[in-house]
């Protein structure tokens, strides 16, 4: 079946105010494809130039537009890694998580293959160096890449035939025009004061924007008063402008601005700002936004230019910074913990206390999706600043979410950070929890030997903790089932059940009944499989566990099919397919759709079987899963060869 082409539209908002740059715009117009490097000092408007040109020429790129801020000079975090950026590009191009490789080279190859025949625009903003950029180049003959950087990127020019453009500071007349657009021509009557403002601002659009915001805040003040204030700062242009605006802030807004230099992620929401400030932050954020020190780039989320972040970080004292970082890490840990409890309430807790609550699964999921870049940055910062408890607990809170959305690399990398932190702490319980999650991750990725080694060590460390011993046996069973060793899987599932019968844990009894049902079905003991799956289905429905219920239905459908009860199997499997589709579990949906096709074919419903197999084929094609060939063979045998060969 044909796959819909996803056309990404990732450009940030069009710059609301833009002047000059006619030569640079013409130079970009002349570049048909390849790489253009826009260089210039921080705050000179490189991003505005690239984005403005992109909007003016969007029709030239029918294949779509990709954009990323590479954070090459962010004082609060390391530059974005090419692997992470490629992950985002592949997401934007519609590649499902299960198809995204783990290593950089494979991701780059997949990306280049997907865009090779497209005419696309790729904007790589705020790049640090050539090594960060080179893996992100699409390689096709028709695409254009625009790189912005404070560095000159000589190697890209030499070896990639990149076209260099330099963005100078604004000419005096352009700077005056920019002020006129922001302030109105009537405020510029004092031409000497205007000229001095331009000089003090260094001709940088960023500083001119901050100056304009300051002027607008005091409509009755003459421009000469602001010029005098700037001159009194006796600093370079950039710091003088920032200091002028910072010194004019109310105390709470000034304190919040300083503390924003502590924040770990690319942006933050109102609640995080309140945590930093230890009080209401809506009015201080409004003050900072009016002063052009903070930008509300999407509703409810705020960010700083990296030059402003560096300025803020220089202002904050150590006495302020360390407690603020503690509050911030606590906030993200406790909120992420509450979100995880909505996603997987049955999973053993790590004992974090949280008074945060969510309205349900969807609200928790939305928060995790919005905050994931911040949570990943918070984990790195916790490691760098010596907050080892946060460094192992934050990855735990993200584990379920990262698994369900298929971000295997982020899940693995954060768990490795967690393991190192747990060992630095000498915390055997934390080490056991982390090894357990690492083992499950390795099983997902097909490293069965590594998975079983980690899980065996986790089991050893968990001795004396009945709940975690039981869950670890469950995970060992699951890892052996992934390796198709169903006899060993059955043995460990039985050990897990014994643990939870002793501890009287209803959720885990139900889940392990389901695991026993599947393992017995796979080794051919259909009576035991039917008993365990029926019991699991009843318990899971009472508990409201839709995911576990769907897999119990799949096992029941499989058993009924093997028993020759094909129509009954089809009814049960159709329920499983629809339930997994509603949960977004594509591979499970594909598995059940394939089973449904088998049951319908055996029941004599050839058309229904073809529809079910076609559904499985579509899903498996998107996933790039090897099960695809078996489903296609069934479609060919059923007379649907033409449909099965479409992609």
Q: Which helix (H) or strand (E) holds 299?
A: none
Over residues 318-348, the pLDDT tens digits come to: 999 999 999 999 999 999 999 999 988 889 9
pLDDT at 642: 42
Is residue 5 scored above 90 in pLDDT?
A: no
Sign of CA dihedral 213, 216, 218, 220: positive
Q: Which residues, in sequence order, are CB contacts of 144 under 8 Å at separation 6+? A: 31, 32, 33, 34, 35, 36, 61, 120, 121, 122
Contact 256, 277 (CB under 8 A): yes
How high does pLDDT run on average in the chain?
A: 89
In the numeric block, which tokens belong to residue 452?
A: 């079983």
Residues 399-424: what's their mean pLDDT? 89
Q: In the prediction, which pLDDT does 151 show?
A: 85
pLDDT (0 to 100) of residue 489: 94
Q: At residue 640, does pLDDT exceed 70?
A: no
DSSP letters along 599-645, please? HHHHTT-HHHHHHHHHHHHHHHHHHT-TTHHHHHHHHHHTT-HHHHH
Instruction: Render 170-193 in DSSP notation, one character per residue.
Output: PPHHHHHHHHHHHH-GGGG--HHH
The share of the chain scoring above pLDDT 90, in percent, equals 59
Higher pLDDT, 622 or 397: 397
| Residue 230 CB partners (closer than 8 Å, separation 6+) | 196, 197, 200, 211, 240, 241, 244
Residue 645: predicted pLDDT: 40
C-alpha distances (whole Å) from 471 to each of 274, 412, 455, 547 are 38, 20, 10, 17
The pLDDT tens digits for 42-64 are 888 899 999 999 999 999 999 99
pLDDT digits 0-9 by tens, 564-587: 999 999 999 999 999 888 776 777
Largest separation between any pair of C-alpha atoms in the chain: 94
Q: Would you place residue 236 in the very low, low, confident or very high pLDDT band (cuts 50, 70, 90)? A: low
Alpha helices for 93-159 (secondary structure H): 104-115, 130-133, 154-159
User: What's the pLDDT at 307?
Assistant: 83
Per-residue pLDDT at 1:
35
Higher-pLDDT residue of 644 and 295 is: 295
**Residue among 324, 309, 224, 229 nearest 266 (CA):** 309
The position carrying tokens 């400030």 is 277
Residue 97 neighbours by CB distance under 10 Å? 17
What's the average model confidence in pLDDT over 153-172?
A: 88
- Measured CA to CA, the distance from residue 499 to residue 151 in angstroms comes to 60
**How far is the C-alpha of 552 from the C-alpha of 566, rounded, in Å?**
17
Higher pLDDT, 46 or 3: 46
pLDDT of residue 233: 67
User: Which pair of tokens denotes residue 372?
Assistant: 């994931």
Among 635, 625, 627, residue whose Cα is nearest residue 597? 635
pLDDT for 165 beyond 80:
yes
Six token digits for residue 524: 């051919």
pLDDT bucket at 351, cuts 50 / 70 / 90:
confident
Mean pLDDT of 473-502: 93
* Residues contacting residue 286 through CB under 8 Å, at least 6 positions apart: none
Average pLDDT of span 356-374: 92
Span 64-107, pLDDT tens digits: 999 999 988 887 778 899 999 999 999 899 887 777 887 899 89
pLDDT at 94: 87
pLDDT surpassing 90 at residue 409: no
**pLDDT at residue 399, rounded to an integer:** 94
Question: In this predicted structure, what is the pLDDT of residue 559?
Answer: 93
Q: Is the pLDDT of residue 202 over 70?
A: yes
- Mean pLDDT over 281-292 rounds to 92
Bridge partners, 146 (sequence order): 36, 123
Token pair of 54, please?
């992109």
Per-residue confidence band for 547, with pLDDT thresholds at 50, 70 and 90: confident
């Amino acid at each position: 079946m044909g796959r819909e082409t996803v056309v990404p539209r990732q450009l940030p908002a069009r710059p609301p105010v833009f002047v000059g740059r006619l030569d640079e715009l013409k130079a970009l117009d002349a570049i048909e494809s390849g790489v253009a490097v826009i260089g210039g000092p921080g705050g000179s408007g490189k991003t505005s130039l690239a984005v403005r040109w992109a909007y003016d020429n969007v029709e030239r790129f029918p294949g779509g537009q990709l954009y990323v801020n590479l954070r090459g000079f962010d004082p609060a975090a390391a530059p974005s890694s090419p692997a992470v950026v490629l992950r985002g590009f592949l997401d934007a191009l519609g590649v499902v998580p299960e198809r995204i490789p783990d290593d950089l080279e494979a991701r780059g190859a997949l990306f280049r293959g997907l865009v090779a025949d497209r005419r696309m625009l790729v904007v790589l903003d705020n790049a640090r160096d050539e090594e960060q950029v080179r893996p992100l180049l699409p390689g096709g003959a028709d695409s254009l890449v625009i790189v912005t950087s404070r560095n000159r990127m000589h190697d890209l020019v030499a070896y990639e035939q990149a076209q260099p453009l330099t963005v100078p500071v604004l000419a005096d007349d352009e700077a005056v025009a920019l002020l006129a657009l922001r302030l109105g021509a009537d405020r510029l009557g004092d031409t000497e004061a205007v000229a001095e403002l331009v000089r003090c601002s260094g001709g940088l659009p960023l500083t001119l924007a901050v100056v304009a915001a300051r002027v607008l805040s005091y409509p009755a003040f003459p421009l000469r008063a602001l010029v005098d204030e700037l001159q009194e700062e006796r600093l370079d242009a950039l710091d003088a402008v920032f200091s002028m605006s910072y010194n004019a802030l109310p105390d709470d807004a000034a304190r919040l601005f300083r503390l924003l230099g502590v924040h770990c992620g690319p942006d933050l929401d109102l609640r995080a700002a309140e945590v930093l400030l230890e009080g209401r932050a809506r009015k201080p954020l409004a003050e900072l936004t009016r002063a052009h020190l903070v930008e509300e780039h999407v509703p409810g989320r705020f960010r700083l230019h990296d030059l402003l972040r560096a300025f803020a970080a220089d202002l904050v004292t150590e006495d302020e910074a360390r407690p603020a970082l503690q509050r911030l890490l606590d906030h993200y840990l406790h909120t992420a913990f509450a979100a995880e409890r909505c996603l997987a309430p049955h999973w053993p807790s790590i004992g974090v206390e949280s008074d945060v609550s969510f309205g349900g699964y969807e609200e928790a999921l939305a928060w995790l999706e919005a905050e994931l870049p911040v949570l990943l940055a918070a984990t790195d910062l916790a490691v760098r600043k010596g907050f080892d408890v946060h460094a192992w607990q934050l990855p735990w809170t993200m584990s379920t979410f990262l698994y369900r959305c298929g971000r295997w690399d982020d899940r693995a990398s954060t768990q490795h950070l967690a393991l190192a932190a747990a060992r630095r702490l000498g915390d055997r319980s934390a080490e056991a929890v982390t090894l357990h999650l690492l083992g499950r991750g390795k099983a997902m990725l097909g490293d069965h030997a590594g998975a079983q080694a980690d899980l065996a060590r986790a089991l050893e460390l968990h001795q004396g903790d009945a709940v975690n011993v039981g869950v670890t046996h469950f995970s060992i069973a699951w890892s052996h089932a992934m390796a198709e060793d169903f006899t060993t899987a059955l043995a460990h599932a039985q050990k897990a059940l014994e643990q939870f019968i002793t501890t009287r844990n209803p959720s885990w009894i139900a889940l392990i009944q389901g695991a026993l049902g599947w393992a017995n079905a796979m080794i051919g003991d259909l009576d035991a499989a039917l008993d365990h799956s029926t019991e699991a289905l009843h318990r899971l429905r009472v508990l409201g566990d839709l995911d576990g219920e769907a897999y119990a239905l799949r096992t029941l459908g499989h058993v009924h099919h093997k028993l020759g009860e094909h129509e009954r199997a089809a009814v049960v499997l159709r329920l499983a397919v629809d339930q997994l589709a509603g949960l977004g579990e594509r591979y499970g949906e594909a598995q059940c759709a394939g089973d449904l096709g088998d049951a319908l074919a055996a029941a004599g419903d050839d058309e229904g079987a073809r529809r079910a197999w076609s559904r499985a084929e579509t899903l498996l094609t998107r996933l790039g899963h090897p099960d695809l060939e078996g489903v296609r063979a069934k479609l060919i045998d059923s007379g649907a060869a033409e449909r099965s060969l479409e992609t």
